[in-house]
Structure 1
């Protein structure tokens, strides 16, 4: 599928599977409670009741299973029986895998999700057809300022348009796919658009640090020393560790220019993230345990899963020790919690005595599935800050009582997401 459009409906309308292929999906216990009469309008032209019942009884999910009802255009599928505490109850990743395996060629693919009561829950129609090793980065800002807002929130994303690795060249096998290195900025852009469309009650700014990491006469060389926006100096020992440099400038700008006391950065930062937390869970690193828990809950509620990394600057930040600058930009020991170290490099430009909340999301793995982008991060941000939305759905999935829930002095808070 080159383009996909999702449409949602709470009722089922008659159709012929040959014209509109259909997938009926749910947990096995719910499928067993499903009455054929309920789903009849989607199947009756091609699938009799006895065939449907026989197909359901043949399902043995491990973790999933499916059975063709009619050629390749009508299918029933069972989701995993169990869901761990670190997974989303919607089992959305398994739904994605099942949908991707379908081979129907109609203009519209209808997915019917069965809920606990054995009734259809949803009919989904899928229509298929600072200076660094970079050239000078550009800063783009989108703002939303509703009247009467008391909070100031900024979302800022790393937007490396393409990452060749600079003079530390990735090579011809590692370079393909680096167009996804703008995934953090793309997520921020999508979240900003959706938040404003849903009616965001607070001041909201989306800031994008957009750059290209490639070889040229102005490119940074290994051994160069740069003074970043925070005033701290960095010895470059790897020009392929470039995303943390623009993020460092981003969080420093948030602190110094915007006066934010909650800063969240989001980026496709390290390949080691996939090793640490996998391709479904982004890695989260934060100096605040309450927000760590809230972010994990927002991930489970939204399907954009996250899992915490160790936050221990005294053990991990020494990996950046430099004899000639405040820090290097790449670790000495790559086996010592690389994703944590990379996040701490960014935090160092706030200072580890920073009194506010800092949250770092490394989503290098979940940002893509094969050669396609997943859109990871949009739902996570909307859920985490859902209490600032007019949308009752976003408010319901938000794990926080308010966008900012720790304000003892009563002063207005400012949030920065980088």
Structure 2
């Protein structure tokens, strides 16, 4: 765990990080609020020539028997927030063995810089472990000229990092523990009695009586029955209502259309979309954002058994639309369809966003770091892509190609859920669009399968679940008007 505090001054510290700007003329030592000894400052100046390059480059100076004993220079780039985020992550990794750290910030540093730096440091410090051992506590003091000026920036960074950590924890948790009931219990526990937050959990009997056929079909093969979680943040006076929907497959074998072993190894991450929308909604509450947010998490375990749904089955979704599926491994869109139809019929959203670890085609098209975004609204797509860029995440807008709509035609149902004619991510988005009714121009689908997981620690990412989408959603929600 890492605790950050702001201070106007600090006593002698063993480990000190000094942030360095790198304008066009090369890196320079800024005026700082911290009283760095003259000999240390002179030695630091000699290292400036080694700091050329991208934000996040560090150079360490060991000074045995002197103060500070461990001095770190970190390049903050040109000084924008992304550079500061990279610098924070770099300091966290370079000082991994230091339990008490002092950060010497430039005297004229902006609140955005403090936010970015703090986010980077907190996110890079994340570790997931199932070992029964106490987490080491690390104390970080950020020395600035006027702490009160940066209080809100630090609080925002903390809330964002806390929400991202929650999404990472939920996604990293092994599926031997993480079944639909467990996930629902985590949400209920996170809400507690916090004002403005409420949660409803639908269990199998209610799902059946209300007609959630997609969720029930996907969960039919598992001994762990499905759930449907509805989390609401409803601040007093809020007018704008955003509904966030996240795919929540707590483990995916592919069902009867079974995956190969290698394709199953990371399927504990197949509920990453649900984790992100739940965490972002709790983050909105932590920041007291003046916008109403409802998160919907359709939860099921897609397993293989005698009761599993079959290729060729007809699924009747919430609201009555039917779909023919010949691939039980294309199950995510079936649970999402129920949730989207429910949102349209009962929640009257102004804006509707869904996040899903939906297709491998996303990674083929855009690689491991970029999510595929689909929307009929230029304005809404631009707003979310802009929020992703500011948050340090990546999304690329993809086409809802009219030529592919015919692929959804079925001889025996309203829709064919899993066309096998290519363009897998696009046709999945087109299928989901059929369930958003008149809200097509205010709906966004994000296929974030590839960037939901990192194969190695890099920058703000730890190895494992990334919590992709939490930071983007929180940035975007913060821009929406209260009325």
Instruction: Work out whether 1:107 is the aligned partner of 2:107.
Output: no
Q: Using a 3 Å threshold, how does the CA distance of structure 1 residues 116 and 225 change in structure 2: closer, same or farther?
A: farther
2:40 is matched with: 48
Structural RMSD (CA): 3.4
Does structure 1 conserve the Cα–Cα contact (< 8 Å) formed by 2:290 and 2:482? Answer: no
Does structure 2 conserve the Cα–Cα contact (< 8 Å) formed by 1:36 and 1:49? Answer: no
CA distance in 1, matches of 2:30, 2:356: 46
Please give the per-residue CA displacement for 1:108-164, whole angstroms capped at 9, x wherever unaligned: 455666698799953746567423333353111222333333343332322111222
Q: Using a 3 Å threshold, how does the CA distance of structure 1 residues 242 and 13 change in structure 2: closer, same or farther?
A: farther
Does structure 1 conserve the Cα–Cα contact (< 8 Å) formed by 2:19 and 2:104? Answer: yes
1:69 is matched with: 61
1:395 is matched with: none
Please give the per-residue CA displacement for 1:269-288, whole angstroms capped at 9, x wherever unaligned: 12222333333332210111
Q: Using a 3 Å threshold, how does the CA distance of structure 1 residues 201 and 81 change in structure 2: closer, same or farther?
A: closer
Question: 1:276-295 alignment to 2 at 5 Å?
Answer: 276-295=365-384
1:179 is matched with: 268
1:349 is matched with: 435
By how many angstroms is 1:92 displaced? 6.8
2:22 is matched with: 28
CA distance in 2, matches of 1:118, 1:147: 31
The correspondence for 2:330, drawn from 219, 233, 241, is 241
Instruction: Work out whether 1:275 is the aligned partner of 2:346.
Output: no
Does structure 2 conserve the Cα–Cα contact (< 8 Å) formed by 1:134 and 1:242? Answer: no
Please give the per-residue CA displacement for 1:355-390, whole angstroms capped at 9, x wherever unaligned: 65111112222222224222222222222121xxxx
2:448 is matched with: 363
Question: 1:322-341 alignment to 2 at 5 Å?
Answer: 322-334=410-422, 336=423, 338-341=424-427
Does structure 2 conserve the Cα–Cα contact (< 8 Å) formed by 1:187 and 1:376? Answer: yes
By how many angstroms is 1:10 displaced? 6.4
By how many angstroms is 1:243 displaced? 1.0
Does structure 1 conserve the Cα–Cα contact (< 8 Å) formed by 2:278 and 2:295? Answer: yes
2:4 is matched with: 7
Counting strand residues as a fraction of each chain, which structure ranks higher? 1
Q: Using a 3 Å threshold, how does the CA distance of structure 1 residues 250 and 60 change in structure 2: closer, same or farther?
A: same
By how many angstroms is 1:209 displaced? 0.9
Q: Using a 3 Å threshold, how does the CA distance of structure 1 residues 121 and 259 change in structure 2: closer, same or farther?
A: closer
1:411 is matched with: none
Please give the per-residue CA displacement for 1:314-373, whole angstroms capped at 9, x wherever unaligned: 222333343333333223223x3x32222111112235x656511111222222222422
Instruction: Work out whether 1:265 is the aligned partner of 2:265.
Output: no
Does structure 2 conserve the Cα–Cα contact (< 8 Å) formed by 1:261 and 1:355? Answer: no
Give the aligned length.
Answer: 373
2:297 is matched with: 208
Instruction: Work out whether 1:310 is the aligned partner of 2:399.
Output: yes
SS in 1 for 2:58: strand
CA distance in 1, matches of 2:367, 2:18: 29
Q: Using a 3 Å threshold, how does the CA distance of structure 1 residues 98 and 259 change in structure 2: closer, same or farther?
A: same
Q: Using a 3 Å threshold, how does the CA distance of structure 1 residues 165 and 350 change in structure 2: closer, same or farther?
A: same
CA distance in 2, matches of 1:138, 1:117: 47
CA distance in 2, matches of 1:252, 1:120: 39
Does structure 1 conserve the Cα–Cα contact (< 8 Å) formed by 2:407 and 2:421? Answer: yes
CA distance in 2, matches of 1:117, 1:339: 43
2:469 is matched with: 377
TM-score (norm 1): 0.76
CA distance in 1, matches of 2:72, 2:352: 46
Hey, which bits of structure 1, 4+ residues long, moved more than 6 A?
115-120
CA distance in 1, matches of 2:435, 2:20: 47
SS in 1 for 2:347: coil
Instruction: Work out whether 1:134 is the aligned partner of 2:219.
Output: yes
By how many angstroms is 1:60 displaced? 2.8
Is the deviation greater in 188-197 or in 131-140? 131-140
Q: Using a 3 Å threshold, how does the CA distance of structure 1 residues 283 and 59 change in structure 2: closer, same or farther?
A: same
By how many angstroms is 1:250 displaced? 0.8
CA distance in 2, matches of 1:118, 1:144: 30
CA distance in 2, matches of 1:14, 1:225: 70
Please give the per-residue CA displacement for 1:245-286, whole angstroms capped at 9, x wherever unaligned: 111111111112223352211111122223333333322101
TM-score (norm 2): 0.67
Does structure 2 conserve the Cα–Cα contact (< 8 Å) formed by 1:183 and 1:367? Answer: yes
1:410 is matched with: none
Does structure 2 conserve the Cα–Cα contact (< 8 Å) formed by 1:255 and 1:350? Answer: yes
Q: Using a 3 Å threshold, how does the CA distance of structure 1 residues 23 and 319 change in structure 2: closer, same or farther?
A: farther
2:238 is matched with: 149
